[in-house]
Structure 1
């Protein structure tokens, strides 16, 4: 008998040891995940044709949210409702940041999706891409609301989702639900849960965006269904309750997380299982549990969980999941940015001064520059931004499918706390839709496959007049018309050559030379065609990623007033037109100069074919302007620095890039000596600019140059580089120009993607416009330790 007892004890001990060993092996088998996220700060949601969409991209580590400390290409597309890509950008990300813009002047009215991704994210499909809907609408009248269709609530759908995954007999179950309309947006419903005998068990009603929850204890031999008020035809069966299962109920308290585990109270045996917590696919901790009653409570310190979404899984002793749910733990530290304004109410054309303090832990700092947008609140579909950096990185990028108004989950309102909203979302939207579950199943791509920073140039070198590859040829890549080498390589046995990781902005002419092993130029260079870009993507997938946005009456009114005022203003005279004018006679082509930049030039140079002999435009200017000095990295007139304009726009070209503009491309050049008046308009003399200005105006169709004729062993292609981000125009009003008649109807008062912090503080200023309204400020940044910084405030512009 003693031997039998000893054997039983030994086997029991061995079984427990094997269980512990199995769970440890299961934990060890969890591979560390490598993932990145891409978020784009967009200045607003609603645009009129001609507006600019301003954007800043943040590329972060998917686990830590720290900015990626590398160089990468970021692809941003603007996609129409039918899936056609109407605009695209390739931005160069430096240490996780890049910014750019889309012009809307050629776009039709409609809803568009901003779609952003990296080469790495393409490994994980559309769900891993960034998506945001914007809308472009041309106002035809003050009450024009075309396209703002109302939802049809005659057909709705209601889903019932037991907490933990299954309903369990003879146990208290929390059942969540969500009601949606035909567009997939939440809608209020109420109703009753009845059993198969027709008895009402419990009533329910949705509490936030169509979501709600109720308690239900299913009993033996009964089935249950939901009857929805005002929809008598709807009888929705509830999931069948299982006899052997575990209910997992969760509640967050101030310092701890409470989990109530319950099972069928009519079962005599109580299960053993493992309570496992994971975060973004990474293991946090586990706890072995042996229930001694049909209900057991577990309290866990809140500090054991990182901020954001974590997953709780109950595993049986064979490591099979028996219950699972997502939880959201907020660190309650807010957006970490404190905003101070010099006042809360302003008159038109008055200066707003803002100071931002970063409320960070010791040793942390804002690693990135901060992006700032200040926008008329009427240019958002609901009067507020539906998405921000915090809601995207913590919700949209973690859960599959579209989330309605994700930013609202982090705001307490009169009826719900942020924690209550987030828990409803975890119960409903997070049910079996955790993105990290899919990432765990994906093979991790080689790091070499992600290193696509810069532009690639490739091609083949052939023997001159032979259709045969030229092996071991020396291939040189240089800037055209300048003694500067970008790189050199040697062709393969198949004559192939390849240059990678090349960075330049805008368009650039390069020179590629090939030399045989003997040093001759008896070679022919054939460049590979550019990779074919996608022209269309799945509209269905885009609609699954985020919700459409609606117009609102305030936007339509403001857009109409803006258009009317701008049409009344005559930029040629600076006056106000009494009525609209139809142009019926064609005008001769003329150069469009920068309106308001300057009134006249001290000298205008017209380029002729004789001038094509100059190697660079600066060589030409030195021969024509005796007071001009070229120091290589700076150009001066009369010992004052010079700025450049190209085609009427303030140039973001470097002096290196100015030198690459060929003489045959230029029509005229305006020279303005230091001390010219800038911002000149009727009614104001503008301001004195102590620097000089050189304004270059190019031809629409450059002439053919003799130097472009064929040279064996050489080609001189024009390459498209990375776009140079444009500067946001923000006027400065002074006593001289504050009464200028030109209307100022800017919806975005201020945009700066690169505001820097100094000693934890950032200061900035801008001027209000002529439009009385409430304006909303949005600030976004990432700290060195990966903390998400977000701040918002508002102010009012009143009438004069």
Structure 2
């Protein structure tokens, strides 16, 4: 898509009349695109609303314009309460433009709403209005915002002349939007009066409080809107004052493109002359033309859209002095932004705790990154128009202002839906940058550089600049699971150092000293401050950033069922907590297999569990007789081809080469071959693709774990060290397996989320997936939602209720 887009830009630039002045628009957009690219985030949640004691499971998708973002490697997600306080915060790594996290809500939670905010460090360089923020209802039994207010606040109506201004003597379209005090849309109707109080026209909202009317303002007049709010009280508001000079811009959709018109007053000789029409999408020039209003007061033209992708087009009109005079945004929907994901039920269980198997097929052969949520439809019903990956990435992430039920605008290709979407365009602004600023050379100030996963950074004090010349630190990164990685950290003359691109979970120890520092003379003299690069605090959260709270559960019986399930869940957790605190009580647990125990002891993060094979060397006679890890694996994994030539080896799997790890640190063939089998405790082979590897792991991965022992840190004894927190360890979604009897199954099953998988990776060799889960004790219908993105930047969403 993006390649076609760039070719189109070139063709348009050649076809349009481009002058020296107009070329500056193109160069500015190129600078914005290359030096100030914009990122956007969508978050899929497992449910639309939550109860105290539940877990919020989420998957974040990160894009830049129409492609997967390669700018940031970390996403920050935060839970914020009504006071604007950050109550929980997670830093998660981005893999194939996706990142997963979870938040456990306390059983004592009293808030009726929480806000989820997600962003990258790079996004903080720009307008905070474009950070991802979503309100999350907490089902306490009473709705937030319904408390009796001390003072009754009236409805609000805002007016938006098309193009920006009303000009006396020229008829133009005036759009309006009516909302209640919470910011939610309300139906409205009223009259427009002149300064004498005479009624000129009536207006009425057509969709979600929005509508339009035509008005031809007269010189010296001021216009007032009069309407009744939902309390029945009459309200008044003045319309924006008309201007005597200026340009009117109007635009409509045509089959061949966007037809726009420019108008000036017939008697405004000073407004005659040349104007420039500039249209851009995602900081890419898509149209540029010179318009002459000298001979005619009205000019009409068409912006071709045949080769443009789906998204928002921003049209701006400039005079010869490059001053912006009018602006309009339009939405182009080419139905080219998605790929189809098929869902079929292979095994359908209708009884309590019955087994279900869902089959998913992705027709695309390129890499796809998806997530799936399977919930009880009785407590998480389908909500009309809820925000989804289509509406967030293509619409709401690119405009300022709240959009109600954004998913509605992608629900149909009907003309009425297109007309309603244009009302959104007329009543919301596109302001990722201001033309006035960039034309004057005022570009964003970059205070936050893009992050390359976890970076070690710090300063060295106590040494002179001479002593710091050509210095470096030698270090060993030691993980809790026994993994180690040698580090070489260059040090600048100012004593600063950075080492980017690290990837580990939990807290690690970094042992260090200066390279070739005999008797640690310099190391002992220096004061070394070492830390990670993660943001220690997110930006402030103001009330202006809080989106309106939408309760998806309108049916009281559904709400009651949800609250009853929540209370049972809280009672079970409290009962478990009391049992765990009792002394001398023997709790019988499900017996874990040897593989499960080893996996729990040795692996972490994206290496735990997984889609593949696990080999335990203890008690395996073939392990004792194998020369190396790779000779041991030969013939054990279908499709994995291993050819060994002395100390060298060649590996291939499904057209790619597996990524190699030793104790979860990325390694190479030589290190794997030099690891004695007597030191190996476990080997995990992950089927392609393995998203824990760079580039998505198209060839899968082989992870070797060496035996743990008391001598693992002998080679770092006596060295100074720093404790450096890594990523928060992933919390694994628990789903009971009722096919095997267990004492744990005695409790009533009131789960509302039956299955959650945030990372489903597919490619040309792995296009079909099966998901097995079991009903709870209260489910009558299940709701399945899959969202995702492919390597070309296309999106998918599939929803079914069974």
Same-fold status (TM-score > 0.5): yes
Match of 1:369, SS?
A: strand
Map 1:2-401 to 2 at 5 A: 20-34=19-33, 35-39=37-41, 40-61=43-64, 63=65, 65-69=66-70, 72-105=73-106, 108-110=109-111, 111-137=113-139, 139=140, 144-145=141-142, 147=144, 149=146, 154-230=153-229, 233-264=234-265, 271-272=272-273, 273-291=275-293, 294-303=297-306, 305-333=308-336, 335-342=338-345, 347-348=350-351, 349-358=354-363, 366-377=366-377, 383=383, 386-401=386-401
String of CA shifts for 1:661-688, please: whole Å, max 9, x gaps.
xxxxxxxxxx9xxxxxxxxxxxxxxxxx
Secondary structure of 1:528's aligned partner: strand
Find the counterpart in structure 2 of residue 587 from structure 1: 582
The CA deviation string for residues 403-435 of structure 1, in whole angstroms up to 9 with x for no partner, is 333323322499x733122211110012x6455
In the alignment, what sits opposite 1:701?
none
- Contact 1:521–1:712 at 8 Å: present in 2 too? no
Asked whether the 8 Å contact 2:191–2:225 carries over to 1, the reply is yes
Structure 2: runs of 5+ lacking an equivalent? 1-15, 599-615, 638-660, 666-680, 682-707
Q: Does 2:784 correspond to 1:777? A: yes
Mapped to 1, the partners of 2:362 and 2:279 lie a distance apart of 35
CA contact (8 A) 2:310 2:336 kept: no
**Structure 1 residue 790, shift from structure 2 partner:** 2.5
Change over 3 Å in CA distance of 1:226–1:384 after alignment to 2? closer
Higher Rg of the two aligned structures: 1
| Cα drift, residue 453 of structure 1 | 2.4
Deviation per CA, 1:65-85, whole angstroms, max 9, x where unpaired? 211347722222222222222
* Pair 764,708 (structure 1): closer, same or farther in 2 beyond 3 Å: closer
How big is the alpha-carbon RMSD for the aligned residues of Structure 1 and Structure 2?
Answer: 4.9
Structure 2 Cα separation of the partners of residues 300 and 624 of structure 1: 70
CA–CA distance in structure 2, aligned partners of residues 336 and 491 of structure 1: 48
Residue 663 of structure 2 corresponds to residue 656 of structure 1: yes
Map 1:505-544 → 2, pairs under 5 A: 505-514=505-514, 517-520=517-520, 523-524=523-524, 526-528=527-529, 530=531, 534=536, 537-540=539-542, 543-544=544-545
Q: Which SS does the other structure have where 2:395 is aligned? A: helix
Equivalent residue pairs, number? 679
Tell me the CA shift for residue 751 of structure 1. Answer: 1.9
Task: Answer whether contact 1:470 1:523 (CA < 8 A) is retained.
Answer: no
| Aligned equivalent of 2:725, options 720, 728, 732 | 720
Aligned-partner Cα distance in 2 for 1:18–1:68: 33
Aligned to 2:565: 562
SS of equivalent to 1:776: strand
TM-score (norm 1): 0.72
- Which ranges of structure 1 fall in alignment gaps of 5 or more residues? 1-16, 572-579, 605-621, 642-653, 659-670, 672-697, 699-704
Counterparts of 2:337 and 2:52, CA distance in 1: 36
1:596 pairs with 2:590: yes
C-alpha distance in 2, partners of 1:461/1:264? Answer: 70
Of 724, 739, 745 in structure 1, the residue corresponding to residue 750 of structure 2 is 745
Give the 5 Å matches for 1:383-782: 383=383, 386-412=386-412, 417-430=416-429, 433-434=431-432, 440=438, 443=443, 449-458=449-458, 460=460, 475-480=473-478, 484-489=484-489, 498-514=498-514, 517-520=517-520, 523-524=523-524, 526-528=527-529, 530=531, 534=536, 537-540=539-542, 543-544=544-545, 546-550=547-551, 552=553, 553=556, 556-563=559-566, 565-566=568-569, 587-588=582-583, 595-598=589-592, 656=663, 714-734=719-739, 741-759=746-764, 761-767=767-773, 768-772=775-779, 774-782=781-789
Which secondary structure state, in structure 2, belongs to the residue aligned with residue 121 of structure 1? helix
Deviations 1:523-554 (A, max 9, x none): 4375526479655753315x425333437345
Q: Does structure 1 conserve the Cα–Cα contact (< 8 Å) formed by 2:122 and 2:450? A: yes
8 Å CA contact 1:249, 1:260 repeated in 2: yes
When residues 418 and 790 of structure 1 are mapped into structure 2, their CA distance, relative to the original with a 3 A threshold, is farther
Deviation string for 1:718-757 (max 9, x for gaps)? 4322233233233445497999654333222222222233
What is the CA distance between 1:37 and its match in structure 2? 1.6
Deviations, residues 246-294 of structure 1 (Å, cap 9, x unaligned): 3322221334322244444676898443332222333222233335655
Q: TM-score, normalised by structure 2?
A: 0.71
